[in-house]
Chains A and B, each alone.
Chain A
Amino acid sequence: AQKITQTQPGMFVQEKEAVTLDCTYDTSDQSYGLFWYKQPSSGEMIFLIYQGSYDEQNATEGRYSLNFQKARKSANLVISASQLGDSAMYFCAMRSGTGGTSYGKLTFGQGTILTVHP
C-alpha cells in the first residue's frame, strides 16, 4: 500500500521569503510519480509540479521546485519568493507507476495550510 505523510498542518512565511513544505512517502513500487497541488479556498486543485521516480534531476516550475531525496523517500516542495496569493492548502500526492486499473489514481497526504504574511 502507498502512503503519503505531510507532517506540517500549518506553515507561516513572510512575503518574499522561501518556504519548504515537507512530504514523505512509502511505497513498494519501483516506478512511481510524485505530485504537488495547490488548493485555494475556491476548492480547485491546481497542479504545480511533478517528479518521476527515475528522474535524476529535481523538478522545477517557475518559483516551485521539488527537493527529491529518493533514499529518504522525501519529496519536499520549495516555494521561492512567496507571494500573498500563495496562501492555500498544499497537497503532496503519489501515483503508482504500475499498470492495471490502479494506474493513475493518486494517494494524497493530509495537506499543509500555508499562510503568507505581508
Chain B
Amino acid sequence: AQSVTQPDIHITVSEGASLELRCNYSYGATPYLFWYVQSPGQGLQLLLKYFSGDTLVQGIKGFEAEFKRSQSSFNLRKPSVHWSDAAEYFCAVKGNSGGSNYKLTFGKGTLLTVNP
C-alpha cells in the first residue's frame, strides 16, 4: 500500500528566509507525486505535480520540488518565503497503474508559520 510521511508537523521561518518541507513516500514503483496547500477553512490548492521526466518541477507561487527516487523523497522548496505562504502543506502520492491510481494518499501535513 502506498503511504506518505511528512516528518515535520510544524515549521517556523522568518519572512525572506528559504524553506524546505520534507516528504517521503512508499510505493512499489514511481508514483505520481503532488504538493497541495491549504489555508485555514479552505480547500486544497495544487502547488505542483510530478508525473515523469525532469525530476525538478516548478509550481505556482515560486515553489519547486525535487523528486529523488533513491531517497523516495519529494521535498518542497522556496528560496524566499512571504508572509502569505503561511498555511498547511500536504504531500500526496497516487499510484500510476492498476487499482492504486484512483485515489490520493496524503501525508499528515506540515503547518508553516512565517514570522515578520
- Check if A and B associate: no
B interface residues (Cβ-Cβ under 8 A, vs A): none
A interface residues (Cβ-Cβ under 8 A, vs B): none
